[in-house]
Amino acid sequence: MTEFIVRVLHVLGRFFGKLSLLINKRNHYFYNEFINSYASMLLKQDIKSFGKHTKICRHVKISNPQFLSVGDYSFIADYVIIDSQIYRNFSTNEHLEKEAELIIGDNCRIGEYSHLTCSNKIVIGDGLLTGRFVLITDNTHGYTDGRECDKAPIDRDIVTKGPVVIGNNVWLADKVSVMPGVTIGDGAIVAANAVVTKDVPPYALVAGIPAKVIKIMKY
């Protein structure tokens, strides 16, 4: 039923988009606004917590939306993938399962083609700005001690080093990767193509692979 409604809205959006072009020759602005608003409305029913005036574009893919919380006035651009799952931990002999928790704060902007993958916990503070193709992950495929080297990566256990925490007013430039167990402090800037493997102090500018502090912008 939901898929049928989305198709109907898509057809209506195309119609109004073409009508908009004929009337005022705007570049599909009306069409995009129409479809994105209704896509957000449909997703709102499944997401754990959905803030006011938040918009999720129509080409965003979300698995297990019941684990996702999004604050007010946030925007998630097209082709973002948000992947939350039940985490299986085999670090002990016990088989532990727990639900993932992915929290996006207020006034955040997630850029196109970014990927957020959560099996433990990712907490993003208010005011995050990301470029395109950004990866934020709290997990990896398999252990690095050799126990699973004979398995295909897709068949290995999902392993996490701990939650990812991103503070307020952080800027992640294009193609940044934030790895498991990392905390990024308030006001930090991560330069393009950096791979963050260790904690970043507040108000630090970091760059490189692995990311290193270039300077502290504010004390």
Tens place of pLDDT for every residue, the chain, 219 residues?
A: 566 665 666 666 666 666 665 555 555 555 566 555 655 665 666 788 899 999 998 889 998 889 999 999 999 999 999 998 765 554 444 445 567 899 999 999 999 999 999 999 999 999 999 999 999 999 888 777 778 888 888 887 788 888 999 999 999 999 999 999 999 999 999 999 999 999 999 999 999 999 999 999 988
- What's the pLDDT at 212? 97
Among residues 10, 28, 115, 141, which one is catalytic? 141
Burial pattern 40-61, b for ≥16 Cβ within 10 A else e, equals: beebeeebbebbeebbbbbebe
CA distance 72 to 216: 30
* pTM, entire model: 0.79
Among candidates 142, 65, 141, 52, which has minimal Cα distance to 101? 65
Does 115 participate in catalysis according to the annotation?
Answer: no
- What's the pLDDT at 6? 59
CA distance 165 to 21: 43
- What's the pLDDT at 98? 67
CA distance 169 to 130: 11
In the chain, the amino acid numbered 129 is: L
- What's the pLDDT at 90? 47
- What's the pLDDT at 186? 98
